[in-house]
């Protein structure tokens, strides 16, 4: 039996003050034909990544509207996470690393933003490891479901192995949810993965641009991620609570703060964030930088890149590198984002970047690179700024530090943008629409991906 993730209870009615009665009523009506449907979400880890955050909110809300939803984890081990991290990097366009080291030095420049070679290799032995753990997961799979959602490349092969081992368990509709950007995927790794996706009834992507032309699933839905406004990470906090948390971690609440909340991952460019801070420090002597991330169980690269970031930070006492290893949880992240004058998201590649919506929901302006799904969230000039170069990042962040009223205005706009588009109630609605579509129609290959979108 696969490990089941315990989930907290959530009630859809609790969201009425946030999104309004009409939208909640629409969701309840949408769920009515699906009441009692068995739904399984399967992924790699219960903690530390965006997928885990999404599932911790949407699974209990599915239960709240009458679906029999659960969340389980694939079979894994450190050797698998090394392989799947490489797959993740290569599908996002990583360079070959001939020495097989996880990280490589900078090898090219585009403008003033340094794009680092993200180390990854692909070998037959790695493919065998991936197959082994997907086969083990299929062996331990139990029961039948109306809808099974498999998240990301780690467990993508489970359905194919289940069809080989126990095809009678292939009941209902199976969906592969890809949370990453495949636009620059390494051809050999995509060619390896693609046949394992063919048995799925549908796939979900964040943006149309991410969908490969040869995607084998008969239906494709476009569904953006979303944040839970009632989670510990996003609920409103009293000002004095925020100040107390800052003091606990040696941060001065009376001096300006900029922050980036992300995994310590080369795609998030934490080294570049330190460089932005150091340039700003010349003009803003009291400036403090918070870099906050969690070490996920399926990300062996995290600790290595944390160490590289610490080296870049040096002995500056105003740079605070904080993780779950330091006692930082969602409550603390909430306080750090709310205390920030400006929130950065200096990603090189990005699937969506939930932390952008988190910051905007807290009324903070975001300065970010236009990577992946970030432009969906940041309307440049309205709730923050999209930048292309290091210089632009420094200039726009400095502008907001000098003009707190402008920063507050952009932050207010951002909160409303998230309310309209990127709350978990909208994500729930999108899933319900997709389930209804798959449950009532025979899958046929559409000429273009079909967008599953809704406002709630």
Domain segments of the chain as ranges: 12-226+423-451, 239-421
Contact 146, 157 (CB under 8 A): no
pLDDT tens, residue by residue, 311-339: 999 999 999 999 988 889 999 999 999 99
102: pLDDT strictly greater than 50: no
Per-residue confidence band for 92, with pLDDT thresholds at 50, 70 and 90: confident
Overall average pLDDT of the 42-60 stretch = 91
pLDDT tens, residue by residue, 213-255: 999 999 999 999 999 999 999 999 999 999 999 999 999 999 9
Pick from 183, 234, 209: which is nearest to 355 by CA? 234
Q: What is the pLDDT of residue 120?
A: 67
Per-residue confidence band for 267, with pLDDT thresholds at 50, 70 and 90: confident
Whole-angstrom distance, CA of residue 10 vs CA of residue 254: 36
Whole-angstrom distance, CA of residue 207 vs CA of residue 262: 21
Range 47-67 burial, b when 16+ CB lie within 10 A, else e: ebbbbbbbbbbbbbbbbbbbb
Whole-angstrom distance, CA of residue 228 vs CA of residue 232: 9
Higher pLDDT: 226 or 440? It is 226
Query: Hey, CA dihedral for 87, 91, 96, 97, is it positive or negative?
Result: negative
pLDDT tens, residue by residue, 403-434: 999 999 999 999 999 999 999 999 999 999 99
Overall average pLDDT of the 108-127 stretch = 59
Per-residue confidence band for 93, with pLDDT thresholds at 50, 70 and 90: confident
Look at the domain 239-421 and name its fold. Rossmann fold (3.40.50)
Check residue 223 and report its DSSP letter.
-
Q: What is the pLDDT of residue 325?
A: 82
Which CATH superfamily does the domain covering 12-226+423-451 fall into?
Answer: Glycogen Phosphorylase B; (3.40.50.2000)
Whole-angstrom CA distances from 232 to 57, 130, 332, 358 are: 11, 34, 9, 11
Overall average pLDDT of the 100-125 stretch = 48
């Amino acid at each position: 039996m696969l490990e089941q993730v315990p989930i907290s209870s959530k009630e859809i009615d609790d969201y009425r003050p946030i999104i309004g009665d009409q939208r909640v009523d629409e969701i309840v009506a949408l769920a009515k034909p699906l009441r009692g449907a068995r739904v399984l979400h399967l992924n790699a880890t219960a903690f530390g990544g965006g997928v885990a955050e999404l599932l911790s909110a949407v699974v209990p809300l599915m239960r709240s509207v009458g679906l029999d939803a659960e969340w389980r984890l694939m079979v894994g081990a450190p050797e698998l996470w090394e392989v799947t991290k490489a797959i993740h990097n290569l599908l996002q366009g990583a360079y070959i690393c001939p020495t097989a080291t996880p990280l490589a030095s900078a090898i090219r420049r585009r403008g003033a933003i340094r794009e680092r070679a993200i180390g990854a290799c692909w070998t037959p032995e790695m493919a065998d490891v991936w197959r082994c753990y997907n086969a083990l997961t299929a062996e331990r799979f139990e029961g039948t479901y109306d809808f099974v959602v498999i998240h990301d490349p780690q467990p993508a092969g489970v359905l194919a192995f289940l069809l080989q081992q126990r095809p009678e368990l292939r009941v209902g509709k199976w969906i592969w949810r890809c949370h990453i950007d495949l636009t620059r995927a390494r051809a050999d790794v995509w060619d390896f993965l693609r046949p394992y996706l063919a048995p799925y009834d549908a796939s979900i992507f964040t943006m149309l641009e991410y969908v490969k032309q040869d995607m084998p699933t008969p239906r494709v839905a476009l569904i953006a991620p979303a944040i839970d406004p009632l989670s510990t990470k996003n609920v409103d906090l009293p000002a004095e609570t925020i100040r107390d948390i800052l003091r606990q971690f040696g941060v001065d609440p009376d001096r300006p703060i900029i922050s980036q909340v992300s995994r310590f991952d080369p795609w998030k460019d934490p080294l570049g964030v330190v460089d932005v801070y150091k340039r700003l420090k010349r003009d803003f002597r009291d400036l403090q930088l918070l870099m906050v991330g969690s070490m996920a169980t399926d990300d062996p690269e995290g600790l290595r890149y944390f160490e590289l970031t610490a080296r870049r930070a040096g002995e500056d006492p105003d740079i605070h590198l904080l993780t779950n290893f330091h006692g930082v949880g969602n409550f603390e992240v909430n306080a750090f984002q709310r205390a920030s004058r400006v929130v950065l998201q200096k990603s090189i590649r990005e699937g969506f970047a939930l932390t952008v919506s988190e910051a905007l929901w807290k009324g903070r302006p975001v300065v970010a690179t236009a990577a992946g799904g970030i432009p969906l969230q940041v309307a440049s000039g309205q709730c923050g700024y999209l930048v292309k170069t290091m210089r632009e990042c420094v200039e726009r962040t400095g502008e907001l530090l000098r003009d707190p009223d402008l920063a507050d205005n952009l932050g207010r706009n951002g909160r409303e943008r998230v309310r309209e588009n990127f709350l978990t109630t909208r994500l729930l609605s999108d899933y319900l629409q997709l389930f209804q579509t798959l449950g009532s129609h025979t899958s046929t290959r559409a000429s273009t991906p079909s967008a599953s979108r809704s406002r709630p």
